[in-house]
Amino acid sequence: MNPVISDQQIAAVRDFNRFYTSRLGVLEQKFLDSPWSLTEARVLYELAHRKAPSAKEIAAALDIDAGYLSRILQNFSDKGLVTRKPLPADRRQIQLGLTNKGHVAAGRIDRSSQEDIASMLGRLAPADVQRVAQAMMTIERLLGNDTTRPAATLRAPRPGDMGWVIQSHGALYAAEYGFETEFEGLVAEIVAKFVASFDASRERCWIADIAGQPVGSGFLVRQSDEVARLRLLLVDPAGRGQGLGQRIVRECIGFARACGYRRITLSTHSILLAARKIYQNAGFMMVASEAHRSFGQNLTGETWELEL
């Protein structure tokens, strides 16, 4: 039986919609003082965070008319932002990509969005920031297609999250791969170095969160002016099945491109099959491997790289 919705409840939702769209500036002709409309900015975002998508895939993801998308893509093409070519498997479909100029444009919008929301939330007390984020997650979960499982979000770390990263790596790798406490100590060293020398303009940490609880992590750190390193990718069993590992890696790649890095490198082990598949699907290539004994196990360490 459908619930009876009161006029007051409908008015509350409409009031919120007017308030929030005004606060984000989405009613302005151009989005975040960029040359692009909101829809154009969303198309740029999807192109920057998907690997060689088709036009059909972008239209479905954004739920926009194929003809409207075609006009946007033609405008982007005229400005040298996108590449377009037939999909090898189906030449009726168009495979899309961003040029270097396109990645720069997408990166600028991403940074502006981050700064705009950080400024908006920065006026609140830390507890109120969490209340706002939690309320938005609840809205997304309840009004989304899947109301049986809380939706996962990616966010910046909060106090206590770094301890969670260390503890979770130690517990999960011990349970699933038999790693000894030496591994947890290594993770603690990596986290401590990240916190002590954090460069917000070139480095970032993402925490995957479900209903206010961390369930995953990923770090992108500066190795040199041209090379970034992906570290501490983890998805807890409570967060699996939602593509969180892929989402974190896509965020790392998009951020690295926006920062101007030329390459991303990472270290992993051959037994981490799920992680290796994520890296491979994201375009990483294994460039070196070496057998060694660490954390109480005989392992094969691997180095993977992605040219940006």
- Select from 119, 134, 165 the last residue of a domain: 119
Instruction: Give me the mean pLDDT over the 182-197 stretch.
Output: 95
User: In this structure, what are the phi and psi dihedrals at residue 153, rounded to the nearest 5 degrees?
Assistant: -125, 160
Q: Is 130 part of a structural domain of the chain?
A: no
Looking at residue 118, what is its pLDDT?
A: 79
Q: Is 213 part of a structural domain of the chain?
A: yes
| Confidence at 5, pLDDT banded by 50, 70, 90 | confident
Give CA–CA dist 144/85, Å, rounded. Answer: 33
Q: Is 141 part of a structural domain of the chain?
A: no
The pair of structure tokens assigned to 225 is 């002016």
The pair of structure tokens assigned to 306 is 């992605």
Alpha helices in the chain (DSSP H): 7-24, 38-49, 55-62, 66-78, 100-122, 126-143, 161-177, 181-196, 244-259, 273-281
Q: Say if residue 172 is in the same domain as residue 80.
A: no
Flag whether pLDDT at 190 surpasses 60. Answer: yes
Cα–Cα nearest to 96, from 56, 65, 42: 56
Q: Say if residue 160 is in the same domain as residue 303.
A: yes
Q: Is 172 part of a structural domain of the chain?
A: yes
- State pTM to two decimals: 0.54
Flag whether pLDDT at 134 surpasses 80. Answer: no
At CB < 8 A and 24+ separation, what contacts does 34-42 make? 34/105, 34/108, 34/109, 34/112, 36/105, 36/109, 39/64, 39/68, 39/72, 40/72, 40/75, 40/76, 41/109
Q: Is 144 part of a structural domain of the chain?
A: no
Provide the CATH number for the domain around residue 104: 1.10.10.10
Q: Say if residue 185 is in the same domain as residue 280.
A: yes
- Show the domain range for 101: 7-119
Q: Say if residue 159 is in the same domain as residue 268.
A: yes
Q: Say if residue 63 is in the same domain as residue 20.
A: yes
Q: Is 132 part of a structural domain of the chain?
A: no
pLDDT digit string, tens, across residues 253-280: 999 999 999 999 999 999 999 999 999 9
Q: Say if residue 184 is in the same domain as residue 94.
A: no
Q: Say if residue 164 is in the same domain as residue 256.
A: yes
**How many structural domains comprise the chain?**
2
Q: Say if residue 95 is in the same domain as residue 157.
A: no
Q: Say if residue 69 is in the same domain as residue 183.
A: no
The bridge status of strand 227-235 relative to strand 263-269 is parallel
Q: Say if residue 52 is in the same domain as residue 111.
A: yes
Flag whether pLDDT at 96 surpasses 70. Answer: yes
Looking at residue 267, what is its pLDDT?
A: 95
Burial category of 81 from C-beta neighbours within 10 Å (exposed 0-12, middle 13-18, buried 19 and up): buried
Across-strand partners of 269? 301
- Select from 98, 119, 140 the last residue of a domain: 119
Q: Say if residue 178 is in the same domain as residue 93.
A: no
Q: Is 135 part of a structural domain of the chain?
A: no
pLDDT digit string, tens, across residues 209-236: 987 889 999 999 999 999 999 999 999 8
Provide the CATH number for the domain around residue 207: 3.40.630.30
| Confidence at 1, pLDDT banded by 50, 70, 90 | very low
pLDDT digit string, tens, across residues 61-85: 777 877 888 888 888 888 888 888 8
Q: Is 103 part of a structural domain of the chain?
A: yes
Q: Say if residue 159 is in the same domain as residue 301.
A: yes
**54 and 95 in contact (C-beta within 8 Å)?**
yes
